[in-house]
Chains A and B, each alone.
Chain A
C-alpha cells in the first residue's frame, strides 16, 4: 500500500510539470493581455508609457518558458509568487479562499455519496418497482442537466418562490461575523446543488452493483439460510455492490471541481472559483499555475484514494500488483 502511494507520488511530479508548462503555454497564446487586465478600466485612460512600464514591471514581455522556469524554481522553495490581478501573494489568495471551496466540495461529496448509496440500495431491492423506475429515470434526467441550470432552478424555487434559503453569499450581506449558523444556512443550497449534480452517478452504480450482488449465489444462499433481509442487504449485497462506487469516487473528483467553479459563481460563494476565472482571463501566470497544480493534485489524489479503498474493501485486489 505504501509502495503504491509512493509510486503514484513519483508519477505525479512529471504530470504536474507538464500540466503547469501547458498552462503557461496556453495562457501565453491566448488573446488576453495581462497589462490591460491588470489596469482594468484605468487602461482606457492610460498612455503608452504607463502601459509599457506596467508590461516591464509585470514581466509580461518575457517569453513564457522563462517565466514558467522562474515560477517553478521559486515554487519549489515554497514561494508561490505574487498574483498580479489580486495584488496579493498567491499563497494568501489561496489561503483566503481554499477553505471555503474545500468545505463546499466536502459537504457536497458526502451528501452525494450517502444519498446516492441510499437511493441506489432502495432502487435495487425491488428492481422494476415504481420506486426503482422513478429513481432511475430521475437519475438519467439529472445526468443530462448542466449544474448551473440546476443551480438557477434551486435559487428560483428555494430563495425566490419559497423564500426559505438565502440565494447567495457566505453570510447575510449585513451580517458582520462569519458565524457557524450563518454559514450553515448559506451552504445548504450550493452544496445540495453540487451534490445533486453528482448524485445520479452514485445512484446508478450502487443500484447496478447491489442489484447484481442480490442475484449472486452467496446472497441467495444467505437468504435460503433464513437470514433476515437487513443482514442480507447490508452484510452481503452492499459490501460487494459498493465496490464499483469506490472507483467512481476517484473519477468524479475532476467533475466535482469544475462543478464547484460554476456553483460558486452562481451563488457568490467566496471560494477559489472567481479567482480562477480572473487568473485565466488576466493571464496571471503565478496564480493560474498554482491553481492548476492544486486541481491536478486533487485529481491524482482522488484516483489514488479510490485505488487504496478498492484494495482495502475487495480481498480479490492485491495492491502490490497495481
Chain B
C-alpha cells in the first residue's frame, strides 16, 4: 500500500515539474532498439512460476505448454497433445495422445508420466494451488503407455478440454521438491518457447528464446518483463525508451497517439464491472428495486466518460461480442420504466424524492475496494443514476478485510471474468449451491431457472443444447437481476512498432503478464 502511494506521489511530483521537459518529441529512442529483443512493462509479477501453484493455468505461459492451447479466436488447438482429445463414455473420458519428440529445455523427453504427475500434484490437497477447484470434475488421471493420457471425470463436464491448457511440468525435477516452496517456483523448466534466464523479484524477469522449441525457435530472442506498479511511471519509462511496451490505462495510452513509433492495441475482454445486489438485503433483495436499477443505469455514459470509450456496456455477464451472448437483451437507460416498476412494486416517492415502502426507505450502501479509481467512478455514476429513479445509494470505500464479512448483506462493486467457456465464469458467480462460498456468488443469488441452465450448460454434450441453456440464462438474468451489470473494460497496450502481424485475444479479468499483444510472442516477426 505504502509503496504504491509513494510511487504515485513520485510521479505526481515529477509530472508537475517535468511536464515541459517531457513534451520534447522523444520518439527517436523508442523505435531504435533491436527487433529481436523486447522490454515490456507490466503492473504486477507472478507470485510463483510453478504451474503446480497456479502459474499459467489459463494457458499463455512463455516457459511451459499445456496439452492444448488457444489461438487468437480462443479456439482450442493441440499443443503438447498431437490432436484435440477423443471424448468417450458419454463425456466421461478424455484421451490425449502426446506429440512426438518434445523435450524439456534441459533435454529430457516429455512423457505421459509428466502429465499425470502435473495433474496429480495439483489435485493433491497438500499442494497450495488456489485454483484446484477448477479441476473438480477429474476423478482420475492415468498414463496409457508413454504417449497417451486418459482423464476420467466424475460427471460429464462439457468444457473440460478448456481446462487442459494447464502447463505441464517435468516430473524428474519438480517431483523431487516440495511443490509449495521448492526451487522450481523460481527456477522453472518447461517445454515452452522461452527459458527463464533471470528473475530479480520486484524488478524484472528475463526470458531467452528456447532454440530447441518443438514449435520452432522464436524470432524474438530476448524478452524482459519489467515490474512497474505505477501507471504513470510505466508511461514515463515507455516515453523515455527504457520500455518498448506497456499496459496502460486508456487516458495515458492516449498520450502516445501522436507518436509514430508506437502502436496502441485495445484488447476486448471479459473484464466485468458489476454491482452485487444481495438477496438478504431488505432493499437489494426486492425484485422491483433490482429491475428498476437495471433500467435506471446509463451504461453507455459509463463507457464514454469513465473508460474513455475503451470498453463496452455489459447487459449481462457475457460481453456483447461473445459468441455465447444472447442477442436482443441490449437495453438503454429508461428512467420512465424504472419509475413505473417501482410504482408497481409499491415503492412510493417520499418528500425528499427517495422512495419508500411500508416504512422501509429505498436506500442501501455500495462498497468498493479503496484505491481502485475505475471502480470508484463506476460506483459514483451508479449512485447518481439510482438517485434519478428515487433510490438512495450510499457509496463507501473499504479494504477487502472490511468488505468481506459484509458481502452477504451489502452491495459491492465487484469485478471478474474468465475466458474460454461461459461455464468458467458463470457457474461460480450465479449457482445457488455456491452462495457465499468464498468469493463465489457474492450476492447469494438464488434462481432455480438459472441453476438449471448452468447445470445443463455444464453437462450438455452438444453445442446446441449448451447454447440454448446459456441464452435462456442471460434472459432470465434480465427478468431477475441479482447483479447490475455495468461495463466490460478493454485492456489497452502501447508497443513500439518494430514487429508485424500482432494481434490480441479476448482477455480475462487478470491481464498484463500472459495476455496482451505479447500473448503469442513466439510467433512475432521482426519488421526488418
Contact = CB atoms under 8 A, between A and B. Distances in A.
Contact of A85 (B37, B47, B125, B198): B47
Interface stretch (A13-21, A50-58, A102-110, A116-124): A50-58
Nearest to A172: B242
Nearest to A166: B242
B130 A54 contact: yes
A270 B202 contact: yes
B203 A58 contact: no
A87 B181 contact: yes
Contact of A31 (B198, B401, B510): B401
Interface string A146-175: 001001110110001100000101101110
Interface string B189-219: 0000000011011111010000000000000
Given A46-B130, A54-B130, A281-B1, A88 B185 contact: yes
A129 B301 CA distance: 66
Interface-central residue, B14, B185, B416, by most chain A CB under 10 Å: B14
Given A88-B186, A169-B204, 15 more contacts: A43-B130, A45-B428, A46-B130, A47-B428, A48-B438, A53-B132, A87-B48, A156-B13, A160-B21, A169-B203, A173-B39, A173-B226, A265-B2, A268-B203, A270-B202
Nearest to B206: A176
Contact of A38 (B128, B202, B510): B128
Contacts of A97: 201
A45 B2 contact: no
A161 B201 contact: no
B10 to A, nearest CB: 5
Nearest to B228: A268
Nearest to A89: B181
Contact of B39 (A83, A152, A174): A174
B6 A265 contact: yes
A44 B181 CA distance: 23
B54 interface: yes
B201 A170 contact: no
A265 B126 contact: no
B440 A47 contact: yes
Interface of B: 1-3, 6-7, 9-10, 13-14, 17-18, 21-22, 33, 37, 39, 47-48, 50, 53-54, 125-126, 128, 130-133, 180-181, 185-186, 197-198, 200-204, 206, 222, 224, 226, 228, 236-237, 242-243, 399-402, 416, 418, 428, 434, 437-440, 509-510
A32 interface: yes
A183 B255 CA distance: 32
A44 B226 contact: no
Interface of A: 31-33, 36, 38-51, 53-54, 57-58, 82-83, 85-89, 96-97, 148, 151-153, 155-156, 160-161, 167, 169-170, 172-174, 176, 262, 265-266, 268, 270, 274-275, 277, 281
Contacts of A169: 203-204, 226
Contacts of B438: 43, 46-48, 50-51
A44 B203 CA distance: 26
A173 B237 contact: yes
Nearest to B16: A156
Contacts of A161: 17-18, 21
B224 A174 contact: yes
Nearest to B134: A45
A44 B186 CA distance: 24
20 contacts: A38-B47, A41-B509, A41-B510, A44-B416, A48-B438, A54-B128, A82-B181, A86-B47, A87-B181, A88-B181, A153-B13, A169-B203, A170-B200, A173-B224, A174-B33, A174-B224, A174-B242, A268-B228, A270-B202, A274-B202
A31 B1 CA distance: 14
Contacts of A173: 39, 204, 224, 226, 237, 242-243
Contact of A156 (B3, B18, B204, B402): B18
B202 A268 contact: yes
Interface-central residue, B6, B128, B132, B185, by most chain A CB under 10 Å: B128
B242 A265 contact: no
Contacts of B181: 82-83, 87-89
| A-side interface mostly | helix
Given A32-B401, A170-B200, A50 B17 contact: no
Nearest to A274: B202
B361 to A, nearest CB: 31
Contacts of B14: 152, 155-156, 160
B359 to A, nearest CB: 35
B6 A262 contact: yes
A275 B126 CA distance: 25
Contacts of B1: 281
The 7 residue pairs across chains A and B that have the minimum distance between CB atoms: A42-B130, A82-B181, A87-B185, A160-B18, A39-B130, A274-B202, A87-B48
A87 B440 contact: no
A57 B128 contact: yes
Contacts of B53: 87
B6 A266 contact: yes
Contacts of B9: 148, 152
A73 B226 CA distance: 39
A57 B180 contact: yes
B226 to A, nearest CB: 5
A50 B400 CA distance: 18
A41 B228 CA distance: 18
Contact of B222 (A86, A151, A176): A176
